[in-house]
Structure 1
Amino acid sequence: MSKAGRITAFFVLLPSIVLLAIFVYGLIWGTLTTSLTDLERVAALRGLPGQFIGAENYERLVNSGLERRFRIDMVNTVFFTLSFIAACLASGLGLAVLIDQKIQFEGVFRTIFLFPMALSFVVTGVVWRWLFQQNSGLNVLPTAIGLPAGNFSWHLSQDKLFTFNWADVPNILVMVVCGLVIYFALNAYMKKKSQRAAFLAAVAFLLLMLVTFNVPNQAAPLRSEEHGFNVALFSITIAAAWQMSGYTMAMYLAGLRGISDDLREAARVDGATELGVYRHIVLPLLQPITLSAMIILGHISLKIFDLVYTIGGENPLQIDMPGLYMYFVTFRSGDYGRGAAIATIMLIMVAIVIVPYLATSLRKERN
Structure 2
Amino acid sequence: MSNLSTNTNATSKTSTPIKEKSKFRISDKMVAVAFVLPSIILISIFVYGFIGWTGYVSVSNWNQIVPDFSFAGFANYAYLFNDFRFQADMRNTLFFTAFFIGAVIVMGQGLAILLDQQLKGESLFRNIFFFPMALSFVVTGVVWQWLLNPSTGVNLFLERFGMESMWYTNTTIFPAIAIGKIEFGLPLAMIAVVIAAVWQMTGFSLAMYIAGLRGISDDVREAARMDGATEGQIYRKIIFPLLRPITVSVIIIMAHISLKIFDLIYSMTGPGANFVTDVPGVYMFETTFRGNFYANGAAIAIVMLVSVAIFIVPYLITSRRGVGS
Normalized against structure 2, the TM-score is what? 0.87
Contact kept, 8 Å, 1:139 with 1:149, in 2: the verdict is: no
Aligned pair partner of 1:150 in 163, 184, 194: 163
In structure 2, give the amino acid aligned to 1:344.
Answer: I
Structure 2 counterparts to residues 199-218 of structure 1, below 5 A: none
Q: What's 1:54 paired with?
A: 73
| Alignment of structure 1 residues 277-292 onto 2, 5 Å | 277-292=234-249
Equivalent pairs: percent with the same residue?
A: 48
Q: What is the CA–CA distance in structure 2 between the aligned matches of 1:100 and 1:80, rounded to whole Å?
A: 29
The CA deviation at 1:266 is 1.4
Number of corresponding residues = 301
1:39·1:337 contact (CA, 8 Å) conserved in 2? yes
Distance in structure 2 (CA, Å) of the matches to 1:312 and 1:28: 29
Q: Distance in 2 between matches of 1:157 and 1:140?
A: 15
2:158–2:165 Cα contact (<8 Å) kept: no
Contact 1:43 1:50 in 2 (8 A): no
Partner-residue secondary structure (3-state), 2:196? helix
Deviation at 1:123, TM superposition (A): 1.0
Gaps of 5+ in 1: 167-222
The 8 Å contact of residues 141 and 149 in structure 1, kept in 2 or not, is answered as no
**Is structure 2 residue 55 aligned with structure 1 residue 42?**
no
2: CA distance between counterparts of 1:256 and 1:42? 55
Deviations 1:248-295 (A, max 9, x none): 001000000001111111111211111111111110000000000000
C-alpha separation in 1, matches of 2:129 and 2:228 = 34
Deviations 1:49-81 (A, max 9, x none): 332110000000112xxx211110011001100
CA deviation vs aligned residue, 1:303-329 (integer Å, no higher than 9, x gap): 111111111146463111100000000
Which string of whole-angstrom CA distances, capped at 9 and with x for unpartnered residues, describes residues 149-180 of structure 1? 421321111221244454xxxxxxxxxxxxxx
Please tell me the root mean square deviation across aligned C-alpha atoms, in Å: 1.9
| Structure 1 match to 2:89 | 73
Residues 1-367 of structure 1 correspond to what in structure 2 (within 5 A)? Answer: 6-44=29-67, 49-63=68-82, 67-141=83-157, 148-166=161-179, 225-313=182-270, 315=272, 317-367=275-325
How far off is 1:18 after superposition? Answer: 1.0
Residue-by-residue CA offset, 1:111-170 (whole Å, 9 max, x unaligned): 001001111111111111111122332234458xxx81421321111221244454xxxx
Give the aligned partner of residue 192 of structure 1.
Answer: none
| 1:244, distance to aligned residue in structure 2 (A) | 0.4
How far did 1:298 drift?
0.5
Indicate the residue corresponding to 1:216 in structure 2. none
